[in-house]
Chains A and B, each alone.
Chain A
Amino acid sequence: MPASLVDANSLLAVDVGTVTSRAAFFDVVEGHYRFIASGNAPSTASAPFRDVSEGVSQAIENLQMITGRKFLGEGHNLIIPASEGTGVDTFAATISAGPALKTVVVGLLGDVSLESTQRLARSTYARVVDTIGLNDARKPEGQIDNLVRLRPDLILIAGGTDGGAERSVQRLMEIVGLACYLLPADKRPALLFAGNQKLTDEVKKSLLPLTSSFSISSNLRPGIDTEDLQPAQRALTELYIQVRRSQMNGVDELNTWAGNTLMPTASAEGRIIRFLSQVYDSSKGILGVDLGASAATIAAAFNGELTLGVYPQLGLGEGLANLLRYTSMENILKWIPFEIPAEAVREYLFQKSIYPASLPATPEDLSIEQAVARQSLHAALKSASKDFPRKVRRAAFGLTPYFEPILGAGSVITRAPTLGQGLLILLDAIQPMGITTVILDQNNLLPALGAAASRNSILPIQVLESGAFLGLATVVAPYVNARPGTPVLQARLINQNGNESLMEIKQGELEIMPLPAGQSGRLYLQPYHNADLGFGPDRTREDGIPVTGTVMGLVIDARGRPLRFPEDGARRCEIIKKWLWTVGG
């Protein structure tokens, strides 16, 4: 880690996704780290290549064309370290490509170690295919046969507090061990043990020879009321990479280029969100959402405590064929601004699952895609919020906690035809509360910064402050129990030139007060009818709130929480069109 910019290094960061491989270049400009440019190429993780190298090379070559700087030498080898304007000093990489790991979770009790192990599984690209616990009604041989039939990629074992239950954990280990023994050697799973630490030697001795990769971390449930997921998450991150190395060609080379620091994309995003929540003192949480083809990822950090939720089943790729298992058709249809038969949405879901890289060419197709995106992201956040710390501040039970800022990523959001459409997807799906800033990660830099953070702590902060991210909007969302049409808020904005604008907002409205990027001002808010902006009912900051300009300006979202729609279809369509029109169409 450079102690100062004297030791500063250029950085090339690569992210291998299901659909796209991306390369981003950072360098020092006038004494500060800056994001310089990025290059993309189709991912080659899947057939016919099944080798990530080709897509990575093409993305870097694309970057070479844009920057005029050479990164790859003969044989597509990375030029590292940099010399005379070619190559790069450091390299970081992240990966989300590939099917979610088939995962079996093993623990003692459903609401203790099994729950924590499930949460651990949710922190990476994993699909839980079986759960084995003490209260499992199956016979041991039934559990063994199922494990053999499922052929999991990964087994996560926890159970027993430190110094607590041993025999029950041993019995579970026996089942896992026998199943692994029965599997052909080349089909054996990776295994992580994060249970009673008294058993680690025994676990290692009995299970290490029967697994493809093996890891032990400290107990994720050291006490009955204590959960400590972080060490197990770190171990899982490494194990995930081990599995990918055995599954996909080119991952080994990528990891070597990255000095053995290759990370799952979601973990890198989580790391930077946690890092930001530590750096920026805030009474609110920091939220990062990424909606990609592989998964919907939710990273929320509250005072350095990260909740990371990775939902492959809610990604906008192959998972779409099964989306209706996790949400209803009505919940997708309600976001579409015209009447459309459910059949059309079903067709979209299945067709897009076959062609995850395909794009909506017609306005109708785009509306369906954005509706699905809203509902997937909403479902992911709802699921992740169950794992948020209990003490987080919320306006009311069941509502989104207060966040500042909210970072949005994923091409359906960042590459939406208009910035307003991207903003509206985020507002509809997240339904933020209080006063917050919405930022777009247009160049998919979050994973790069997360992967780089462990080796260069200055770079992420300087890049974040350099304008590489797009300040999309400052959002004011009051929580109020009032009838539609009732005035709930008066907003007075005095910009840096002393110009004043005033607006009265009624319940149900979505309004914009322009404050362009580069400008600043002070916002005075007067809530009515017990409207809560995060300061308490009807309370405000008398001295005003300093606000910085963004491309969309100040967006006042008084549509109500949770968002409700008229039952009349025509009226619903009309309202959605109006919201869309408000944010610029």
Chain B
Amino acid sequence: MLAPVVHILPLATLRRERLLPVPGRVIARMDQKVTSLDVVAEAHYGQEHVLIDVARLFGVQPEAAQRLIQVKAGEMVTKGQSIAQRMGFVPQILRAPGNGLVILVGDGAILMEGGEETFELRAGIPGRVTRQIPERGVEITFNGALVQGVWGNGLIGLGVMLPVITAPDELLSLNQMDVGLRGSILLAGHCNDPEALQAAGDMPVRGLILGSLSPDLISLAAQAQYPIVVVDGFGLRPMDSAAYQLLTTNAKREVTINAEPFDRHTGVRPEILIPLPVTQEPPLPRDVETFAPGQPVRLTRAPHAGEVGTLAKLLPGLTALPSGLHVAAAEVRLDSGEQIVVIPLANLEVLG
């Protein structure tokens, strides 16, 4: 049976395409080393449009209005510039309401684009530019440790990771918010304290990595001005031991926290990336696995949610669960002890 895979890897190679939403200019050069916050491409596009209905304003038919328009598509206009004129005893002049680009002229109307902004595409992951995609973006290759999460608030941060926990089930509290943590990326267990989230933003920190988050705080976390990644899920559950061990081992290193929201359809996930030197490029992680004995697995639902273990045996046929469901299941030896538990395959994801 096909198995979902989540990456918690001490050393891996990642190749990621970073693409502009609209065509633009690629800034990063081939082989350039980039941090996650470096701008690799940019695009200019208008944020606001203005539709000027010349025919209606002059009180004429669209065909007639068309002849009175003085600007063409693609032309830049400045505020106050005459864009249409109607002759007569009292000539009527229509002026541009602001600076902008004429996008379209037709049917006696003008569509202008104003409020141009530059969209800057950041690298998102640290690494080396290994491919340029003309007008769209780049491919970046990363070497280092990788931990994928399940929830992110859409921001990117870069900084030194400092643990504020000594055990994976510790709660993040307000009194842990020491000024010495300012500018760092915090590694914490569970958070159910809105004041702790608020204080982290006030310091400010450059990011927060949580094992789990209270569902009551999701909207607060989503609005935070610093990136937040949740590794395991919602509700009081410890950070899984694989992620905890990997992250604490790399404490005080510079890490990137890319809190992209989890999108099951595209496969985009929030990630924590820790660049590490390599002599030989490690293999690309496998995105597709089938369940097999010996695989490290993470348990996603109660009981044992968030625990990590090894798939010991795939059980034949269907297995009865305490809930009464009969499902495909496996025996899993939990890392937390030598306990072997029976878990539905649907509640397992392979760590790889």
Which residues of A line the B interface, CB within 8 A?
Answer: 41-42, 44-50, 54-55, 58, 98-99, 139-141, 144-145, 148, 174, 178, 181-182, 184, 318, 343-344, 346-347, 349-351, 354-366, 415, 417-418, 421
| Assembled-state Cα–Cα distance A184/B51 (Å) | 19
Question: Which chain A residue has the least Cβ–Cβ distance from B111?
Answer: A178
Q: How far is the CB of A147 from chain B (nearest CB, A)?
A: 10
Q: List 14 A-B contacts (CB under 8 A).
A: A46-B265, A47-B268, A48-B287, A99-B265, A141-B50, A144-B49, A145-B49, A148-B49, A344-B235, A346-B234, A349-B215, A359-B344, A359-B346, A360-B321
| Assembled-state Cα–Cα distance A148/B113 (Å) | 12
B205-232 contacts to A, CB under 8 A, are: 214-216, 218
- Per-residue 0/1 for B1-28: is the Cβ within 8 Å of any A Cβ (1 yes, 0 no)? 1101100000000000000011100000
- Contact indicator B322/A44 (Cβ below 8 Å): no
- Contact indicator A363/B322 (Cβ below 8 Å): yes
- Contact indicator A351/B300 (Cβ below 8 Å): yes
- Contact indicator A140/B51 (Cβ below 8 Å): yes
- Contact indicator A182/B321 (Cβ below 8 Å): no
Known: A99-B265, A361-B347, A417-B323. 11 other contacts (CB 8 A): A141-B49, A174-B109, A178-B51, A178-B111, A184-B21, A346-B216, A351-B234, A358-B346, A359-B325, A362-B322, A417-B326
CB-defined contacts of A48 to chain B, threshold 8 Å: 5, 267, 287-288
CB-defined contacts of B347 to chain A, threshold 8 Å: 355, 358-359, 361
- Per-residue 0/1 for B295-306: is the Cβ within 8 Å of any A Cβ (1 yes, 0 no)? 000001111010
Partner of A354, one of B1, B2, B150, B324: B150
Answer yes or no: B107 CB below 8 A from chain A CBs: yes
CB-defined contacts of A351 to chain B, threshold 8 Å: 233-235, 300-301, 305
- Contact indicator A47/B234 (Cβ below 8 Å): no
CB-defined contacts of B303 to chain A, threshold 8 Å: 361-362
The 4 closest A-B pairs by CB, nearest first: A47-B267, A417-B324, A347-B235, A48-B287
Which residues of B line the A interface, CB within 8 A?
Answer: 1-2, 4-5, 21-23, 47-51, 103-104, 107, 109, 111, 113, 150-151, 214-216, 218, 233-235, 262-268, 287-288, 300-303, 305, 321-327, 343-344, 346-347
| Assembled-state Cα–Cα distance A99/B263 (Å) | 10
- Contact indicator B265/A358 (Cβ below 8 Å): no
- Contact indicator A361/B265 (Cβ below 8 Å): no
Partner of A350, one of B5, B218, B300, B344: B218
User: If A174-B107, A347-B215, A351-B233 touch, does A359 touch B267 (CB 8 Å cutoff)?
Assistant: no
CB-defined contacts of A46 to chain B, threshold 8 Å: 264-265, 267
Partner of B323, one of A139, A184, A346, A366: A366
| Assembled-state Cα–Cα distance A58/B3 (Å) | 13
Q: How far is the CB of B89 from chain A (nearest CB, A)?
A: 30
Partner of B324, one of A99, A181, A366: A366
- Contact indicator B324/A415 (Cβ below 8 Å): no
| Assembled-state Cα–Cα distance A418/B326 (Å) | 10
Question: Which chain B residue has the least Cβ–Cβ distance from A18?
Answer: B264
- Contact indicator B49/A182 (Cβ below 8 Å): yes
- Contact indicator B301/A359 (Cβ below 8 Å): yes
CB-defined contacts of B47 to chain A, threshold 8 Å: 145
CB-defined contacts of A41 to chain B, threshold 8 Å: 1-2
| Assembled-state Cα–Cα distance A347/B51 (Å) | 47
CB-defined contacts of A99 to chain B, threshold 8 Å: 265
Question: Which chain B residue has the least Cβ–Cβ distance from A353?
Answer: B234
- Contact indicator B235/A44 (Cβ below 8 Å): no
CB-defined contacts of A144 to chain B, threshold 8 Å: 49, 51, 111
Question: Which chain B residue has the least Cβ–Cβ distance from A184?
Answer: B22
- Contact indicator A361/B323 (Cβ below 8 Å): yes
| Assembled-state Cα–Cα distance A181/B109 (Å) | 15
Q: How far is the CB of A355 from chain B (nearest CB, A)?
A: 5
Partner of B51, one of A141, A349, A358, A417: A141
- Contact indicator B48/A141 (Cβ below 8 Å): yes
| Assembled-state Cα–Cα distance A361/B216 (Å) | 24
- Contact indicator B344/A98 (Cβ below 8 Å): no
Q: How far is the CB of A483 from chain B (nearest CB, A)?
A: 35
- Contact indicator B104/A362 (Cβ below 8 Å): no
CB-defined contacts of B267 to chain A, threshold 8 Å: 46-48, 50
CB-defined contacts of B48 to chain A, threshold 8 Å: 141, 145
User: If A48-B5, A49-B288, A417-B325 touch, does A343 touch B216 (CB 8 Å cutoff)?
Assistant: yes
CB-defined contacts of A349 to chain B, threshold 8 Å: 215
CB-defined contacts of B233 to chain A, threshold 8 Å: 350-351, 354
Question: Which chain A residue has the least Cβ–Cβ distance from B23?
Answer: A184
| Assembled-state Cα–Cα distance A364/B300 (Å) | 16
CB-defined contacts of A140 to chain B, threshold 8 Å: 51
Question: Which chain A residue has the least Cβ–Cβ distance from B263?
Answer: A47
Question: Which chain A residue has the least Cβ–Cβ distance from B348?
Answer: A358
| Assembled-state Cα–Cα distance A55/B48 (Å) | 44
| Assembled-state Cα–Cα distance A54/B290 (Å) | 13
Q: How far is the CB of A141 from chain B (nearest CB, A)?
A: 5
- Contact indicator B301/A355 (Cβ below 8 Å): yes
| Assembled-state Cα–Cα distance A344/B237 (Å) | 12
Partner of B325, one of A47, A346, A415: A415
Q: How far is the CB of A378 from chain B (nearest CB, A)?
A: 22
| Assembled-state Cα–Cα distance A207/B331 (Å) | 58
| Assembled-state Cα–Cα distance A396/B217 (Å) | 43
| Assembled-state Cα–Cα distance A58/B109 (Å) | 56
- Contact indicator B262/A354 (Cβ below 8 Å): yes
CB-defined contacts of A356 to chain B, threshold 8 Å: 264
| Assembled-state Cα–Cα distance A102/B113 (Å) | 25
Q: How far is the CB of A185 from chain B (nearest CB, A)?
A: 10
CB-defined contacts of B234 to chain A, threshold 8 Å: 346-347, 350-351, 354
